[in-house]
Amino acid sequence: MVLQWYPGHMNKAKNQVQERLKVVDIVLEIVDARLPYSSRNPILEQIINQKKHIIILNKADLADPKLTNDWILNYKQEGTASIESDAKHNKLAKLNSLIRSELADKIDKYERNGVKNYQIKAMCVGIPNVGKSTILNKMVGKNVAVTGNKPGVTKNQNWLKTNYGIDLLDTPGILWPKITDPKVGMKLALSGAIKDKIYPPDDVAIFALNFLQTNYLDRIMSVYDLDKSDVNNHTTAELLMNLTKKFGYKEDYDRAARRVIMDVRNLKFGRITFDIPGEFYEE
């Protein structure tokens, strides 16, 4: 269980999102493109009902581009539209067309019935840190103080005009990550989605080294200047110990662990995606 979430908070957050869902035409679910599975909360799927829904794979600038494409195809096969985004650096013009194409039936109906000045209403939803506020600000075109960006904060519903003729709820819906699978917890910790103090850094670093050896072996070998014997005949814990010496940190394994984690976050190994489509997660 993630420490900052308690059943009371979760319920409140769920109710708040559910309440707000009633007044929107479309839900923009923001996920971290490095974690298109682990940064989602399955509860949203349950409460979203028949509502139109787009998944925004944000922070795509940090994710493996091939896997981002694979995830977009994967969601499409499941019947959900999705789009990649780098809200920190780019505009969201493609998102506007996607919202309009997802709502084409509704927009057609308005236009057939001669309704002028109709408003499309949308809201952002996602777990903490995926970029909800950044996307909201980008859509609105200026910095608005995203208030109530805490679970369970009740507030009146205010609409923000966006650059795209779409009205956006000023308070994003916040859900919690689901961490029943320890791998999901490790991935959230590694990406910085949850607080560093939740898991011991050596556990997260060992998970990272293992993941890199399995999925990005050439990158870890070149970045840490390893040869085959460094990776073949050792456990990942031994690899961390050897790296500690290599970094000149004597026996400060925690320091080496924190460095490995920061190297992942700072793209030392390039753009990495931690969730692979089709990977089996259920226990």
- Helices (runs of H) and strands (runs of E) counted in the chain: 12, 7
Closest to ligand GDP by CB, 177 vs 185, is 177
- In the chain, % helix, strand, coil (3-state, to 5) comes to 45, 10, 40
Identify residue 107 by its one-letter amino acid code.
I
Q: Give the residues across from 73 on adjacent strands.
A: none
Closest to ligand GDP by CB, 14 vs 138, is 138
Closest to ligand GDP by CB, 93 vs 115, is 93
Closest to ligand GDP by CB, 128 vs 177, is 128
Closest to ligand GDP by CB, 192 vs 277, is 192
173 marked ligand binding residue: yes
114 marked ligand binding residue: no
266 marked ligand binding residue: no
> Considering the complex, what minimum distance in angstroms separates the CB of residue 199 from ligand GDP?
19
13 marked ligand binding residue: no
DSSP secondary structure string for all residues of 11-58: HHHHHHHHHHHTT-SEEEEEEETT-TTTT--HHHHHHHTT-EEEEEEE
Structure tokens at 204: 């997260």
CA separation, residue 158 to residues 12, 83, 107, 148 (Å): 19, 26, 23, 12
* Cα–Cα distance measured from residue 224 to residue 247, given in angstroms and rounded to the nearest whole number: 9
> Considering the complex, what minimum distance in angstroms separates the CB of residue 101 from ligand GDP?
22
131 marked ligand binding residue: yes
In degrees to the nearest 10, what's the CA dihedral of 24, 28, 30, 35?
120
Structure tokens at 219: 């990158």
Residue with the shortest CB distance to ligand GDP = 131
Residues that bind ligand GDP (CB under 6 A): 58-59, 61-62, 85-88, 126, 128-134, 149
> Considering the complex, what minimum distance in angstroms separates the CB of residue 267 from ligand GDP?
9
2 marked ligand binding residue: no
> Considering the complex, what minimum distance in angstroms separates the CB of residue 126 from ligand GDP?
6
> Considering the complex, what minimum distance in angstroms separates the CB of residue 10 from ligand GDP?
17
Query: Residue positions in the annotated binding site for GTP?
Result: 58-61, 129-134, 173
Residue ranges for the binding site? 58-61, 129-134, 173
